[in-house]
Structure 1
Amino acid sequence: MTLLEVAVVLFCILIVMALLIPAVTGPPRGGRRSQCSTQIKNLSLAAIQYSVAKDQLPGWAMEFGHFGWDPETETILSPLIDPSADSPETSSQNLAPHRKIGPWAVALLPWLDAQPTYEHWTEDRYPILTRAEGSTTGFSGRGFHPLATPNLAIMQCPTDPTQSEDSGRNSYVANAGIFFPPSDMIAGQHTIFHPDGTTKTVAFAESMSKEFGAFGNQVSARLERSDAEARVPIAKPIRLDDFRDGAGNTVLFSESLHALSWHRSGFVNDEDLIFESHPDEVLYPKLSRFTNTMVWHGVDWSNGKQPREIHRINGERELTETMQMSRTNAADLARPSSAHIEGVNAAMADGGTRFISETIDHRVWQSLMTPRGHEPISDDAM
């Protein structure tokens, strides 16, 4: 072999290495986005199966039972005696009675290969909290039981850089419809600017109707301790048959870098679910409409007005990956966001997925979130 031939071979080897090294060492963005799309598709399929079984979609806040309470006699049960060492009840001796309130993700667990976790929520013999009676602090995970709040791979987008929770890590949110001020849930009204240009003044109950979103409240509870009669309205059942725009044109789930743990409805900690004499002492989690969901904010499009940047998909991107949801910004951050380039994955009510561009017209996005947005959406608008 001549020197020239050796040089050519070496040159070819260098070219091949230059092509292979980025593929091996670089982040597989396309693969991660595809994995995220598959996971969110499975959430949509689970919601469809839930709807078939229950004849309605789940809610953003739901009740799954009680621990330490006998609903037939309406009395607090005595602590368990000598639980077996290999039983989940082992750590439940002397635990405070508590009400099991959680979001939509808990309801979908049986269709996400998480039946044991679902049973921990729905069987009254199992606690979802770890706080003992008389204790002032929870042990871990804001006082939630580790068997009730595991980190599930299907709830975590592989490109989400914000997964710092000890338990219940979550990258996905459900469609809760129109924004409604949490301070007006009992008797207040809110003017909605619909995507079709019309306006409508509605109360909290109507804001959860099939005209404006897909998931509603399903927890009956007081909003304030001082008023036993002021109870938060429960949403009427919303079914897939109600989606007049077509299931493929209505969003059920999207990504979020700000969603709370999949098991927390609102900002509830262990102390918020504990009661002393009756489950009705547990108050409604005020911000549950925003912490595991996305909402659309109506915009008065007259006189050239535009939506706030933070309400758009990936709005204020330079802050998106560093902002954390709090009680003051929850309503603003209840919108799709992701670490993907130029958009987010969304799952539709027909079980399909779409990659939604962050530059999508805000009115088109609102129409995708409303089951009766009165207009079909083409792929060109994405």
Structure 2
Amino acid sequence: MTIPRRMSHTRCKYTAHAKPPRAFTLIELLVVIAVIGILVGLLLPAVQAAREAARRMQCSNNVKQIALALHTYHDTHQSMPTSMTGSDQHAGGAGSGFHSWLARILPNIEQAALHEQIHFDQPLADRTDYAADGDYIDYTLSPGHPDEKAAGSMVPTYLCPSDPGSIVQFSLGIPTAPGSYAGNIGWPRLSTGPGVTTPLAKQNGVIGLYNPVSVDQWQQPRIRFADIRDGLSNTIAIGERVIAQVFESTDMFGGSAISHATPLSMQSFCGGGSTGRSLSRWVGYCESVSVADAQYSISHGHAWISGWTFMANHIMPVIPINRRSCHVYGGEDDGMNLVTPSSHHIGGLNIAMADGSVQFITESIDRELYWALGSSNGSETVELP
């Protein structure tokens, strides 16, 4: 009988000639990192483009919803909404004033509860003793104002997701909610353009304006679809306008100026007095001014609730899109402010025609076509590409 030998347990040992596992060399690691960087660099623009396409689509949807709200408002009130550019004054106090057209259409965008919070019977301003035109540049809202809460309420439909300024603003003295869209009020007073050779005496836009304490013939507080003689499909109702993020600098004399870091579309330049000019002369004059004015630029788009001229909740399709805006001395009280449609989209912006249709117009749009779209009664032939 053979007795099996007992197995001995031995540990594995590397022999003298065994080599450790091979690791990456420094050069190989750098090459891998470089390749990953190139791939990310190629992928990132595509991802950003896809995200912007989605934001632009949402922005277009917002424009559509606001345009439809204008129609339901018109069905109810038999006119388009009006912005008040001043406050009513009477013995013993002040009445209503300074609320915007955006505040009035809130029930038509499913914001009836917010609409009910607004005190339309009281002026949306700290002061009501405005006398001269220049007084209207002094516009503030103090903490404790009856509409403080409503003024700070963000309304998603009023914000374009492409605009980085879609955050609470503080330019008026209290937190206010901004807005990315503005209503078309037409051409400047006494101007001439395509189809209009007689100096314009009355608004030829879609959104009405009214200052009860400083009545102006140019302002039209009640605009109806029947007044849009060029046709609803030929007239801009609303368009995008960037929310201002103005960077200020101090000059050698201690004055305030706009820094070069501020995009041109957020700057407002002096357009001179409200004298009669052709639209081409308005463009030439405004674009010849070399220094922007921070005081007239800083509040653009900062409060959807306000009809104040320099809140810029109204556009004038005169200066080419995505360019500068121009304020007019003498227009502080009546909304006569050449605010230019603008956006953060590449190459153009969204507009809604008065019939509710939405278009994306490019920066290369023919200038006379652009002017014609801004007019409600020029009898122009309008053909969008």
Equivalent residue runs for 1:181-260 within 5 Å: 190=190, 192-196=191-195, 198-202=196-200, 206-208=201-203, 212-221=204-213, 223=214, 231-233=215-217, 235=220, 237-257=222-242, 258-260=300-302
Identity %, equivalent residues: 27
Could you tell me whether the CA contact under 8 Å between 1:172 and 1:254 is conserved in 2? Answer: yes
After superposition, give the CA deviation of every residue in 1:88-135 in whole Å (9 maximum; x if it has no partner).
Answer: xxxxxxxxx7735311101110011111111122576x996899xxxx
TM-score normalised to structure 2 length? 0.59
Q: Counterpart in 1 of 2:142? A: 138
Per residue, is there more helix in 1 or in 2? 1
Q: Counterpart in 1 of 2:23? A: none
Q: Counterpart in 2 of 1:93? A: none
Q: Which secondary structure state, in structure 2, belongs to the residue aligned with residue 102 of structure 1? A: coil
Q: Counterpart in 2 of 1:176? A: 185
Task: Please give the alpha-carbon distance, in whole angstroms, between the structure 1 residues aligned to 2:329 and 2:341.
Answer: 16
Q: Counterpart in 1 of 2:346? A: 341
Could you tell me whether the CA contact under 8 Å between 2:151 and 2:176 is conserved in 1? Answer: no
Task: Please give the alpha-carbon distance, in whole angstroms, between the structure 1 residues aligned to 2:166 and 2:95.
Answer: 27
Greater Rg over alpha carbons, structure: 2
After superposition, give the CA deviation of every residue in 1:239-276 in whole Å (9 maximum; x if it has no partner).
Answer: 1133333212111000001434111121xxxxxxxxxx
Task: Please give the alpha-carbon distance, in whole angstroms, between the structure 2 residues aligned to 1:255 and 1:358.
Answer: 13
Task: Please give the alpha-carbon distance, in whole angstroms, between the structure 2 residues aligned to 1:130 and 1:199.
Answer: 41
Assess, with a 3 A threshold, how the Cα gap between structure 1 residues 327 and 295 changes in structure 2: closer, same or farther. same
Could you tell me whether the CA contact under 8 Å between 1:65 and 1:121 is conserved in 2? Answer: no
Task: Please give the alpha-carbon distance, in whole angstroms, between the structure 2 residues aligned to 1:339 and 1:151.
Answer: 20
Equivalent residue runs for 1:350-365 within 5 Å: 350-365=355-370
From 286, 297, 304, the counterpart of 1:262: 304
What amino acid is the match of 1:220? Answer: P
Across the aligned residues of Structure 1 and Structure 2, the Cα RMSD in angstroms comes to 4.1
What amino acid is the match of 1:242? Answer: D
Could you tell me whether the CA contact under 8 Å between 2:73 and 2:81 is conserved in 1? Answer: yes
Could you tell me whether the CA contact under 8 Å between 1:120 and 1:128 is conserved in 2? Answer: no
Assess, with a 3 A threshold, how the Cα gap between structure 1 residues 326 and 356 changes in structure 2: closer, same or farther. farther
Instruction: Give 5+ residue unaligned stretches, structure 1.
Output: 1-13, 77-96, 181-189, 224-230, 267-286, 298-310
Could you tell me whether the CA contact under 8 Å between 1:259 and 1:293 is conserved in 2? Answer: no
Could you tell me whether the CA contact under 8 Å between 1:251 and 1:347 is conserved in 2? Answer: yes
Could you tell me whether the CA contact under 8 Å between 2:351 and 2:360 is conserved in 1? Answer: yes
Q: CA deviation at 1:18?
A: 9.2
Could you tell me whether the CA contact under 8 Å between 2:125 and 2:141 is conserved in 1? Answer: no
Could you tell me whether the CA contact under 8 Å between 1:130 and 1:144 is conserved in 2? Answer: no
Assess, with a 3 A threshold, how the Cα gap between structure 1 residues 118 and 339 changes in structure 2: closer, same or farther. same
Q: Which secondary structure state, in structure 2, belongs to the residue aligned with residue 214 of structure 1? A: coil
Q: CA deviation at 1:331?
A: 6.1
What amino acid is the match of 2:368? Answer: R
From 80, 88, 96, the counterpart of 1:99: 96
Q: Which secondary structure state, in structure 1, belongs to the residue aligned with residue 142 of structure 2? A: coil
Assess, with a 3 A threshold, how the Cα gap between structure 1 residues 108 and 324 changes in structure 2: closer, same or farther. same
TM-score normalised to structure 1 length? 0.60
The alignment status of 1:378 with 2:378, answered yes or no, reads no
